[in-house]
Structure 1
Amino acid sequence: MIWAQVSAIGVLALILAEAAPAVAHEDITDTLLTDRFANCAAYADTYSAEATDIQNRRQFSAELSISTDGDSCTIRSNAVPNHDFNTTGHFVTPLAEQVQVYSVPANPVAASRPTALSLQYDNAVFLNGVKLDLMAAGCFGVRDGRIGCTDMSAPYRYDPLASNAGFGADEHNAHTQPDGTYHYHGNPMALFDQDNPAAPSPVIGFAADGFPIFGSYIEDNGTIRPARSSYRLRTGNRPSGPGDPGGPYDGTFVDDWEYVVGYGDLDQCNGMVQNGVYGYVITETYPHVMACYTGTPDPSFRKRR
C-alpha cells in the first residue's frame, strides 16, 4: 500500500512537472542597461543571453537569476557574459562555465573606515552575472611577474589594464582565470552607453559590500560627463635599486598612482554620492572601478580557492 502511494505521488509529480510552464527568462543579449535603482532587489528576475567566443568560435548560453528576501539579494550565474568576447584577447585558458552564487546586502552600510581589497575576495558582480576581480596576483620580481604574488604588502603589483602589463585582456577589459572563469578587471564596455549619453550612467552591478556600481557618466551642473578619478600618477621615476623596476611612473604598477583628495570627483574608494545615493563609478584610469570597499564585503564573495 505504501509503495502504491509513493508510486502514485511520483506519477502525479511527473504530470505536474510536464504541465508546468517553463520559467520565462528575460533575454539580455547585448542589452545596454538604463536603470539607476540602487537597491539590488529592483533587478530580481531571471535572465538569459547568447555569447560567442570569437577566437575559439564557440557558442555559449548565459544564465542569471537575481532573487531577494528583502534584506539581501542572491545572484546566481554560470559566469557567461551577455556579449561576445575574446575578439582581441589572448586567453591562456578557454572560458568554462561556472557555478557562481553571491549574496549582496540590499541596504548597505558604510564601515567606520574603508576595507582594503585583497586577493581573497571577488570585488563585485555585474548585472550580467560576471564578476569583477580587480587585483592581479603578479608583482615585479615575483616569479614571472604574472602569478604567485599573494603577499598584499608586496610592492609593484601590476595593474592588469596597464597598456604594457601583458595580461591579455579582451575588448571588455576581461580575460579568464586558470580554471576558465571569465572576469572583468575594469569597465565591461558593453553594459552602458559609452558614447556621449544624454543622461547619467545606470547601475551596472553591485560591489561585495552591497553598494551599487554606476557607469562612467555623471551629471555636473546640467552637463553629462565622465567622472574623474582622484588618483594621479606620481611624478618622476621609481627607485632602481635591487628589486626595484626603475623607469618612470607610467601606470604599469598600482603603486604608480597616489590618491589626492579633491583631485577628481571621487573618493578614496572611487565612489561618490549621486542624488543622495552612494556608489562606485567606472573610470577610464586607475582604479577603474574601486580601490577599496566603503562597506564590508559579504563572505559569499570570498574565493573558494
Structure 2
Amino acid sequence: MIRPLILAPFLCILAMPVLAHEDHCSAVKSSVEDAGFSDSVTVNCSDTHAILTSDTYPDHEMMTGIIGTNEQVPVPAEYGAPILLAPEYNGTPLTRDAALGVAVNGVPIYDYTGGGEMTEADLAHHQAQHDTLQTGQLDVCGGHAGRGDDYHYHVTPTCMIAQMNNAGPDAIIGWAFDGFPIFGDTNPDGSTIAEGALDVCNGQTDDTFGYRYHTSQDAPYIVQCLMGVVEDFDQLPRVRPLTAVGGGGAEPGRPPQGGVENLVLTQNTDGSRSMDYSYKGQDYYIRYAPSGTENCYNYTTSTVTNGGKVMQGEFCR
C-alpha cells in the first residue's frame, strides 16, 4: 500500500510539549545505552547536537540474501551523526541522496530508494524501479554496502532490532537528523498505527517529542524525508568513499541483469574479508584486507562488471 502525499503541517504539533535540551541529550544517550550498543557507539552532546560516532560496521550478518548486487562491499568508516537537540517541526519535507538519520547501533539510515535524491513529486508515489527492497539490493538485515563501500539501512533494520536489549514497541531504534526519534512498525504503546496516520515522511505526532518517525511493512518502509528544520542541510555528513591509490583497481559495479546467486560475505579474524557470489554458473569474488596503512585495504577482485578479469589495487578512505 502506498500512502497519499501529505504535506500540510500537523498544527497540533506546535502545541505539544517537547523535551528540553538536557532531556533530549539524555534521551539520545539512553536510546544507545538501553539498546546495548554503548561499546560501539559514543554519544557526545554540544550546545546544539548529540553526535553519535561509530564505524558504521554492525555486529550482525551482512550482505546475505542480496540478488541485485552493485558489487560493493562493507568497509568500516568513521562517522559522526549529528542529531539536533532542539527539534522544530516544519512540515516541508527535506530529501537527500545520503543518510537521513542513524540507527542506535551507529549505522546510517537512508530512504528506501537507490536512485539518488528524490524530488517533492517523487515523494508522492512509489518508485518501484528504485526500490532497493523490491529490486533485491538489500540483505536479510535490511541493509547493503553503498557506492562508498559503507554499510547502511534502507528499510527496517531487523537484525539490529533482534540484538537490542530493550527491543519492543517503545524502544527508539534510531534518530533522524532533524532531532526526532524513529520507532518501529507500531505506536510506542504497542497499538496498531491507524491507516493514513503516517505522513509522506513516514511520521506522525508524538506526545513526548512532538513528532516521531516509524518503520513500516509497506513502502516507504522507513524515514523517507525529514519534516523538521535542519539548518545547513547540505552540510550533513556523508561517508567518505574509498579511492584507489595510484589509480588501480576495479571500476564501480553494476547490478548484473537477472541477479546473482549465493552471495556470501566472509569475515576472518585477521581483518580480511571476502564477498563471493555466482552468476550464470561462474564464480566471482571481491577479497580485501587491511594493507597496513590506516584506513587502507588491498583488494583482489574478479567481478561480473569487469568480465571476470582479476584486478588488484589498494583503496583508502
TM-score by length of 1: 0.56
Change (3 A) 1:281 1:136: closer
Counterpart in 2 of 1:76? 53
Q: Which residue is equivalent to 1:286?
A: 219
* Aligned positions of 1:7-18 closer than 5 A: none
- Aligned counterparts of 2:87 and 2:24: Cα–Cα separation in 1: 9
Once the two structures are superposed, residues 1-58 of structure 1 have per-residue CA deviations (whole angstroms, 9 ceiling, x without a partner) of xxxxxxxxxxxxxxxxxxxxxxxxxxxxxxxxxxxx98343343898x9xxxxxxxxx
Distance in 1 (CA, whole Å) between partners of 2:170 and 2:213 is 12
Q: Which whole-Å CA distance do the structure 1 matches of 2:86 and 2:191 have between them?
A: 28
Among residues 203, 218, 222, which one is paired with 1:271 in the alignment?
203
* Cα separation, 2, equivalents of 1:198 and 1:135: 23
Q: Which runs of 4+ in 1 moved over 4 A?
A: 149-157
Match in the other structure for 2:29 = 44
In the alignment, the residues of structure 2 paired with residue 87 and residue 207 of structure 1 have an alpha-carbon distance, to the nearest angstrom, of: 26
The aligned counterpart of 1:114 is: 92
In 1, the alpha carbon distance for the partners of 2:41 and 2:99 equals: 18
Other-structure match for 2:229: 296
1:97 corresponds to 2:71? no
State the match for 2:267 in structure 1: none
What amino acid does structure 1 have at the position aligned with 2:105? Answer: N
Deviations along 1:123-147, one digit per CA (max 9) or x if unpaired, are: 1101000001225343xxxxxxxxx
- SS of 2:27's partner is helix
Aligned length: 205
Q: Secondary structure of 2:129's match?
A: coil
- Judged with a 3 Å threshold, the aligned counterparts in structure 2 of structure 1 residues 226 and 193 are, in CA distance, closer, same or farther, namely farther
2:180 matched residue in structure 1: 211
Structure 2: distance between partners of 1:171 and 1:180: 18
Alpha-carbon offset, residue 289 of structure 1: 1.4
RMSD of the alignment, in Å? Answer: 3.7
| Alpha-carbon distance in structure 1 between the residues aligned to 2:143 and 2:72 | 13
Larger RCO (CA within 8 A; separation ≥ 6): 2
Letter in 2 for 1:184: Y
CA contact (8 A) 2:93 2:201 kept: no
TM-score, with structure 2 as normaliser? 0.54
Is contact 1:38-1:211 (8 Å) kept?
Answer: no
Q: Which of residues 115, 127, 134 is equivalent to 2:104?
A: 127
Describe the shift of the 1:268–1:43 C-alpha distance in structure 2 as closer, same or farther (beyond 3 A): closer
Structure 1 CA distance for aligned equivalents of residues 161 and 170 of structure 2: 7
Residues 28 and 50 of structure 2 are in contact (CA less than 8 Å); yes or no, is this contact kept in structure 1? no
Any stretches of 5+ residues in structure 1 without a counterpart?
Answer: 1-36, 50-61, 139-148, 229-262
Q: Give secondary structure in 1 for the equivalent of 2:89.
A: coil
Aligned partners of 2:156 and 2:216 also within 8 Å: yes
Which residue is equivalent to 2:19?
none
Classify 1:272/1:78 alpha carbon distance in 2 versus 1 (closer, same or farther; 3 Å).
Answer: same
Segments of 5+ residues of structure 2 without an aligned counterpart are 1-21, 242-317
In terms of Rg, which structure is larger?
Answer: 1
